[in-house]
Amino acid sequence: MAFILTRINVGDYDTWKPMFDQDKPGARAASKGWRIFRSVDDPGQVFIQVEFGSVEDAKEVRERLVASGVLDRFSDKYGPMIVEEAETVSR
């Protein structure tokens, strides 16, 4: 299992979300699921976590996402980066 994590400042979340839902680069078509988080202090700052079955799947999607240019319109962004879960703690 692997994840793509991306942080972007989308400005107006309500304007950005329908574009995200379109998934024009097909970044989530092969995913197992995704989560969107918003900053409490700055609701325009969004953190996206997309889950994949393997590192290879995540790398392929990251390449497609970057090549599509959809993230280029955001000057304040970090990622997409591929990560694996190191530890799970439940309480």
Which domains are seen in the chain, by residue range? 2-83 (3.30.70.100)
For residue 88, the model assigns a pLDDT of 87
DSSP letters for 30-63 = T-SEEEEEE-SS-TTEEEEEEEESSHHHHHHHHH
Size (the chain), residues: 91
**Residue-level pLDDT at 27:** 87
> Measured in whole angstroms, how far is the alpha carbon of residue 77 from the centre of its chain?
11
Which pLDDT tens digit goes with each residue over 12-71?
999 999 999 999 888 898 899 999 999 999 999 999 999 999 999 999 999 999 999 999
**What pLDDT score was predicted for residue 19?**
92
pTM (predicted TM-score)? 0.89
Identity of the amino acid at 32: K
